Structure formats: C-alpha cells, structure tokens
Structure 1
Amino acid sequence: MSLSAPPPVAVRTLSAPAAARLLGLWHAAGPAYLALADGLRAAVLSGSLAPLTRLPSERELARALGVSRTTTSAAYDRLRELGFATSQVGSGTVAVLPRSAGLPVRPQAPAGDGPLPPLSDRSGPIEMSQATPSAPDALHGAYQRALEMLPAYLGTGGYSHLGLDVLREAVAERYTARGVPTTPDQVLVTTGGQQAIALLATTLVGRAEPVVVESPTYYHAIEALQRAGGRVIGVPVGDVESLASAVHRTRARLAYLVPDFHNPTGRTLSAEERDTVARLTDRYGVTVIGDETLTDLDLDGGTVPGPFCGDGTDSRLVSVGSASKSFWGGLRIGWVRADPQLVQRLARIRQALDIATPVLEQLTVVELLAERAEILPARVADLRGRRDHLVGLVRHRFPDWDVPSPAGGLCVWTGIGRPAAQALAGAAVAEGLRIGAGPQFTPDGSAQDRVRLIYTSPAEKLTDAVDRLERAWRRITG
C-alpha cells in the first residue's frame, strides 16, 4: 500500500487587496487568466510571494482585481497545472515552488480566449534576475592552495566566530591599501554579504523603528531590514539631501546605502556626497551601512572615491564587503568592517545562526585576495563585453526604452516607458526568462516602469534572453 505525501500546509495568508498591490499593473494584452497566472508565478519565482502562502479565494481576488471569477478560476487552474499551486477542499489554494520552476510550458487556452503567442523551442530557462557571475579560472588553483593550508587547522574544532585570523588580516590589509587604516579586530567574517546585512539589521534595528534606504535598492537588504522589524523608508538614489531630511524627520538610527555601482541603478556616490553622509552620523547619531560588494566591478575604469568608511575613524560608518561578485557567489564569504565593539556584538549574535564560516572557503578567499590584481582585470573586461552586448541589443530591439550603460556593477536599470514592469516580468516567465520587476526593488512598490536586466551570462545566452524579452513584450502590448 503506497502512501501519498500530505498536501503542503500554508504558513501565511495573502489577502486579496495585498495580492492586487503585489501584482500591480499585471494585465496589458492577451488572455487575462494567463497574464494573472504569469504574474503570480513571477512573484513566486522572485521571492515577493513566498511559497506556502494561502492565496485569496477566487471570488475575493476577482473582486479586488475587477475581473470575472472565471478569470481567477482559470488562473488558479493554470498555476496548479504548472506546479505553482495546490488546492484542497477546506484549505484553499496554496502557492508552492515546483522543482521545475521557470521551465516554459505550452499554454492550453480554453474556448473563447483566442489564440496565444507561440512558444518556440528553447534550451531551458534563462536566469536574468540573479546578479551572480560565474567563477574565474583562478578559482580552482586557489582551492588547491587552500587545501594545502587546511591541515594546519584540522587539529582545531573548526569554529572561528570572528573568522580565521589570516582572512581578517587579509581583509584589513585590503582596506588599508585603499587608504583606510584597518586592524583585524575591526573585521568580522560572515557567511556571505547577505548574512552581514542581516546580522546588522538584527542587531541595530528595533521593532517598528524607521530605517532609511535608497529607492530602488538591493531587494534582499529591504527584506532583511523588514524581517528585523524595521519600517523601511525610501529616498531617491544619490539624493543625500533627501537622505538627511528623512533621517532628521523620522529620527532613524540606521540607514543602508550602496555607494559604488549601485544595485540596481549603477550610480556611484561622489566624494562630496560621501562627506555629507559622514556628517549625518555626527549630526543625527545615525549608523550608515555602506554595501561595497560591487566596488571591484569598475567596468569603465573610472576612479571610485575612497572606501565608504571614510578615514576609518567614524564608528557609525559600517562597511559590508563580499567575495561573491569579485570572485564567486558559491564561496559564501563576506565581511563587516566596523568598530571592534560592534564586531564582537555581531559575532555573539551570529552564533545563533551558523556559529562560524567554513574554513576551506575562508582560506580560498585569502588566496584570491592575494591575486586580485591578476584576477580582476580579466573579469572586468569580460563583464564589460557582456554589458555592451546586452545594452546594444536592448537599445536596438526597444528603441523607445531608456537603456543606460552603467559604469560598473552587474545590471541595467531599464525604463520600459509604461507602468507595466510586473506584467512584463510575468510574461517573461512564460517565455522561460526571469527578470526583476522594478517594484521588487522598492519599499513602496514604485518603479512600475522599470525592470532590472543582468548581463552576467555569455553573449549567446544574452541574445536568446533578449529574443524572449521581445516575445514577452509582444504578449503584453498585443
């Protein structure tokens, strides 16, 4: 006798009004039920709609969106067909994430909905929503040398709450070489830059306290700050006067910025703007986190102003760094540069999460940092070529779009000329392409006319991605 797996149990509920806000302008052209299903599927894939969320009833969602119940019923049927939802009598419809998430499936249109755009043969889904470059050739050799160093650590328990001394020294030397004298006791090694941000949020944000961020900004930073209980307030990117005003008005004790090759806009704060931010810490007592994970990716060879932490003496200027963008995301090595007392406090709190960072990967990053002068030029040149290829293609295919060429970083913050970002992201999912809709990167759901496009893939895959993007655009524009 075989036992079937129990149906997934919802751990949260999405109301119909919240679903309407999440979807935004979800429908532009074509069958409404497909556009609705695509929008919900894109929300699950992007993380803005968490799996195991109970969706609104068909009737409630139809009322909130101003469509027929037939449309919402067909959309839910479509989600179940694709494996993105499951339903059980008495439990409603629950969003889930299937193993085949993102794979295109040929739609089956019910009578009366008209013909659907054809889905061409393709090799599989294309990921244009994660800014994660592939590893450099030097990574394998760095791991080999790290393995040779590993025996010296095998006689220990393997836990180093602050990070291995040799890596903390290497990170401190890197800051010192950039003009900011730094000692190892000012460095905490974390399991990736994201853990560094989450630790700072957990440590420095109280329940319902205001936190000021740029809008748009790094999505997972918003998420970490909100999960820590913060009330996230957005100000325009690079507008330090608005930043000062928001900090003063809300009495925020924490702000989060991406000073170099901002994710997603690509903007870099000038030296004067950094000085203004530093003065805010004294004037208002606010701690400012500078996320420098993209600092090494200077594609046009401009001079990045000094490290965000200024001369290193301001204890309220905290820097976050990572090996993920410079070298490889699979390393999961990040760090915080901060006042030694804050470093110790963060180290105590992180023990409730993962105790310490893997030893072998720390040793590997030591090797990579020692060779960064040889590794990074080739990496930057490769990314520059991919950026130019994507920007040229998108400008040619979509002459009415605003397609900037960022001076650094990994993404293009693209204006599509109408508030249809979520509809486009949903239609792209149906074409086997994942992109980031603008509202995902804002605390208030704005940027409806922007999408984030990543250029970390090889040129041939970027060409395929733009082909799919064009088909998705036709889906929503008719």
Structure 2
Amino acid sequence: MEPIQLTERLGRWSSGRGPLYLLLADRLRRLIDEGELPLGTLLPPDRALAAALAVGRGTVVAAYDLLRLEGRIVRRQGSGTRVAGPVPDAGPETTDAPAFLHLLEPRDGVILLACAAPDAPPPELVEAYQRAVVDLAARRGDIGYHPSGDTVLRQALAEHYTGRGVPTAPEQIVVTNGGQQALSLLARALTRPGEQVLVEAPTYPGALEAFREVLAVPRALPVGLAGFEAAVRDHRPAFAYVIATCQNPTGGMLSGLAGSRLASAAASAGVPLVEDEVLAHLAFPGEDVPPPLAAHAPGVISVGSLSKLVWGGLRVGWVRAPEPLAARLSRLRAVHDIGGNIPAQLAAAHLLPALAALRQRRAAQLKANHDHLRAELAAQLPDWQAPPARGGQVLWVRLPHGDGVSFVQTALRHGVAVLPGSGLDAGGGSREHVRVHFVPSPEELTEAVRRLALAWRAYDQAARSLTAPPQLAV
C-alpha cells in the first residue's frame, strides 16, 4: 500500500489526546479490526509513512511495535510490515482473557469455569425487590434520573462504610451499573492516553480492559503492589489499582499492616490508590479479614459491587471517593447513561442490612466447593499446582508445562472453558497458568475436572510428539 493511500484512510488520526504514537496505533488498530486493512496487506515502510504524515520516524516505529506486540501486524527483515489480521476476541473457539465476554453466555455442552458469579438470585433478592416495589409506589415528584445514584442507596452505602471503620458521607458515593462501569469511569477520570497505571500481576482482566480502553498503559507489579514506591519514582503513574482482599485470581489477602503501608505510601506520593472490593465479602469462614484500605488513608478510592455476593444480574456497583472526584464521576456518568436502574438500587438498599447472613452462607458454600475442586484436581491431575485460596471464587493453577493460551483451546474442545493466565498479566507473564472458578455444584466440578484431565492428556500427548526426536531409518 502506498503511503498516500494509507494516509487517506487514516483520516484525522491525530485529533485526539495523548502521544502521537498511541493515536496512530489506535487508528491503525481500528482499520485492521474493521477489515479496511485486510490480512496480508503490505504497510508502508517507517520512513515513508512518517514523511507522508509529517511526523518523526520514531512515532511510526513505536506505533508499529505496539501493533506487533498485539499480534495485529508482522514485521520481518526484508519482507516489510504486513497486516496479520484482527486479534480474535469474539470467536467461538477462543477463551483468551481479557476478551472473554462471549463466555458469559452459556454454550451447549460446555461447562463454563471462566466467568464466576452466582448462578441464581437468592431469596433475599426477591424479597428486596418486593419491598422496592412498595417504595416505588410511594414516590412522587421524582423523574428517576440520578447520575450519582438514588439518595436512599447512597445513604445506605455511606452507613455501610462507616460501620466498617471508614467514615463516609453520601456525597462521596457514586452508584454505577456494576463494578465494571465503576472501573471504566475511574479510568476516564484519572488518566490521559499514554499514562501508566500500576497493577498487580496477575489481576482482574476486566480492569486491564477498562484501562486499555482509554489508552492507559498498565504497569505490572507483584501481587500486593510490592515495589510500589520504586515504581512511583520511576514511572510517575496516574493511579494504582489493587485487590487487597480475596485477590483475583490468587485468592490471597494483603495483611492489615501491609495494607496500611501501601495506603500511606500512596498518600505520601500523591498517587490515587483504587481498591477493588468486589470480592472482599467472600473471605472463607475463619479467615481474618483486614480492614478496607480506606480505613488507613481517607483518599483511597473504593470500588464495590453486589454481583459476586448476590447475583450478576443485579447491576449495582459503586465508587467511594473524595467528594470532588465523586462529583466528577457523576458528570462523566451523566454523559453515558444519565442514571441507573432505580428499582434495582432500591432493592440493593434493602439488601445491605442483610449482607452478613448472605455472606456467611455464600462463603461457606464457596469454601466447600473450593476444597472439592482442589481434591478432584489432586486426584485426576496430580502434576497441576493449585495452591489454596483464602477466599473468592477462583483457583490460580500452574500447569506442569506448555502454556495456558494453547491449552484452553484443547480444553474448550473437550467441553470446559477456563481462562489462560497471560490475559490476566499486564507484564506478559503467567503464561503457564490458567484460572478456574469453583462456583458450580460439586457434581459439575467433578465432571469439569474429568474433562480437563482428558484435555490435558490430549494436550500433553501432542506436546510430547512435537518434542520427540525423529526416528532413524534403518
């Protein structure tokens, strides 16, 4: 393709915010993903495209390198730069994380161990909606648009945090359509294109997607954000994101002392610290749950949701933040959807006082499932390493060899879907891991492990055949 042809297709690619190389890569990415640059298209050389766009050669090189790392282009000495095609993110035969939204919908005959949430609404939710209907019947003079969230729920959430040792005013609460929207709003509010965000490796893949969507660059640190202070000095991040309790996917917990040090270090450095508490209420019975990080520093931003504790279909999440940031998040929220579902928010307000009993019942069930899954893995796949979790819904499993990306394809063909570890690691590691959740019944987990064992035997046999020395002819 001639540089002038590509320039015409790029259009006003540089009109956004952020470094030019990111804007150029974003526009090329769209052209590739939408099919305007078909598979095999020969792209212009660095210097030629840079001259046509009136930018430095380094801008084009950096954009090309980013797309190469994503797998969208291939660069070979002597063969030029060619389009490799869009990164598969919705095909039926992939389970690569974080692009796993297609796995949310059930598929015939496939046991889904990729996306974890309760598989049925509990009786408490039905009762809460019945009470919410009564509340709605009594409402007058309310058009129902509340970008910050319904005042009843905001007040209930403020009391919920205050009861956990974090004094909170309703003005500090912004209600969202689930925890994922909360992360998306925070990413838009706190970052500009090209800025870095400190994250754990591994971490929740949906967070990585939210940050990358606004062209932020996740910078990986060990779980618990070990090395935080040095990373702040070296990279000057826009903010840091941590799952301190029931970490996803390792199931670990940051001790109270470690959490206090992290919160204090973030406050001293002036770096906003976002704590994802979506799984914080799923600690196993008997575990010593540390206080929220916001209890150590008032500027910590907390993200919560009822989707993992109550039901995924209850799209109610929230952000607890300093008032100026909360007001900004409300303005951003209004641009997208004006407000959330008021009946759902009223039901959530009725649920909050009943969370203790629901949490106790669900945590006990998850602990039993966790033990059952680990026992089945030990019996049928003894070479796999599945360390125990202290809470949450998933196991972080290390394979004896190979990589998760290729194994999950084999597993899917055997009727079970799990997530490869590389999609949860912003640093490009964890390729030897897979994430497996233990929400289903013990019977379904037993069948899932049976299928995983069959898949592993097929995968292992194929790997050995590829590495076996050739037979000598006699």
* TM-score class, shorter: 0.7 to 0.9
Please state how far the C-alpha of 1:154 moved relative to its aligned partner: 6.0
Alignment-derived partner of residue 401 in structure 1: 384
Q: Distance in 2 between matches of 1:148 and 1:339?
A: 33
CA distance in 2 between counterparts of 1:282 and 1:260 reads 20
Aligned residue identity for 2:116: A
TM-score norm. by structure 1 comes to 0.76
Q: Which residue of 1 aligns with 2:298?
A: 314
Q: Which residue of structure 2 lines up, in the alignment, with residue 247 of structure 1?
A: 232
Aligned positions of 1:26-425 closer than 5 A: 44-46=94-96, 48=98, 102-103=107-108, 124-134=109-119, 135-153=121-139, 155-240=141-226, 242-311=227-296, 314-315=298-299, 317-425=300-408
**Pair 276,456 (structure 1): closer, same or farther in 2 beyond 3 Å:** same
Change (3 A) 1:203 1:40: closer
Structure 1's unaligned 5+ residue stretches are 1-7, 24-37, 52-96, 104-123
Alpha-carbon separation, structure 2, partners of 1:98 and 1:314: 38
Change (3 A) 1:9 1:286: closer
Determine helix, strand or coil for the equivalent of 1:476: helix
Fraction of identical pairs, as percent: 35
Distance (Å, rounded) in 1 between the aligned partners of 2:381 and 2:103: 33
Q: CA deviation at 1:314?
A: 2.7
Shift of 1:19: 8.6
Given residue 254 of structure 1, which amino acid in structure 2 is its aligned partner? F
Structure 2 SS opposite 1:319: strand
Find the residue that maps to 1:180 and give its secondary structure: coil
| Structure-2 separation of matches of 1:244 and 1:255 | 11
Question: Are the equivalent residues in 1 in contact too, given 2:172–2:323 (CA < 8 A)?
Answer: yes
* Separation in 1, partners of 2:93, 2:427: 16
Give the alignment partner of residue 442 of structure 1, picking from 403, 425, 442. 425
Question: 2:447 corresponds to which letter in structure 1?
Answer: D
**Using a 3 Å threshold, how does the CA distance of structure 1 residues 42 and 287 change in structure 2: closer, same or farther?**
farther
| Cα gap change, 1:382 to 1:15, in 2 (>3 Å) | farther
Distance 2:131 2:367 in 1: 29
Task: Write the distance in 1 (CA, Å) between the matches of 2:155 and 2:105.
Answer: 43
Q: Is the 8 A contact 1:192 1:332 kept in 2?
A: yes
Shift of 1:277: 1.2
Looking at structure 1, the residues matched to 157 and 318 of structure 2 have their Cα atoms a distance apart, in angstroms, of: 8
Structure 2: runs of 5 or more not aligned: 1-32, 42-64, 73-87, 462-474
Q: Distance in 2 between matches of 1:174 and 1:99?
A: 30
**Over aligned residue pairs, what C-alpha RMSD do you find?**
2.8
- Structure showing the higher helix proportion among its residues: 2
Aligned partners of 1:39 and 1:425 also within 8 Å: no
User: Structure 1 residues 239, 21: CA separation in 2 closer, same or farther (over 3 Å shift)?
Assistant: same
8 Å CA contact 1:46–1:436 kept in 2: the answer is: yes
Change (3 A) 1:284 1:21: same
What's the CA shift for 1:279? 2.0
Deviation at 1:475, TM superposition (A): 1.7
Q: Distance in 2 between matches of 1:301 and 1:15?
A: 57
Contact 2:95-2:408 at 8 Å conserved across structures: no
Work out whether residues 98 and 424 of structure 2, in 8 Å CA contact, stay in contact via their aligned partners in 1: no
Task: For residue 419 of structure 1, report the CA deviation from its aligned partner.
Answer: 3.5
1:428 aligned to 2:414? no
Report the 3-state secondary structure (helix = DSSP H, G, I; strand = E; otherwise coil) of the residue aligned with 1:352.
helix
The answer to whether the 8 Å contact 1:193/1:321 transfers is yes
Question: Does the 8 A contact of 1:218 with 1:441 survive in 2?
Answer: yes
Give the Cα separation in 1 of the matches to 2:376 and 2:321.
42
Residue aligning to 1:118: none
Q: For 2:146, what is the secondary structure of its paired residue?
A: coil
Q: Secondary structure at the match of 1:309?
A: helix
Q: Do the aligned partners of 2:199 and 2:225 also contact (CA within 8 Å) in 1?
A: no
Rounded to whole Å, the distance in 2 between the matches of 1:181 and 1:285 is 21
Structure 1, residues 235-263: CA drift from partner, whole Å, max 9, x if none? 110253x1221121101120100010100
**What is the rounded CA distance, in whole Å, between the counterparts of 1:127 and 1:13 in structure 2?**
33
Q: Which amino acid aligns with 1:371?
A: A
CA contact (8 A) 1:395 1:401 kept: yes
Please tell me the residue identity of whatever aligns with 1:216. P
Q: Is the 8 A contact 1:401 1:414 kept in 2?
A: yes
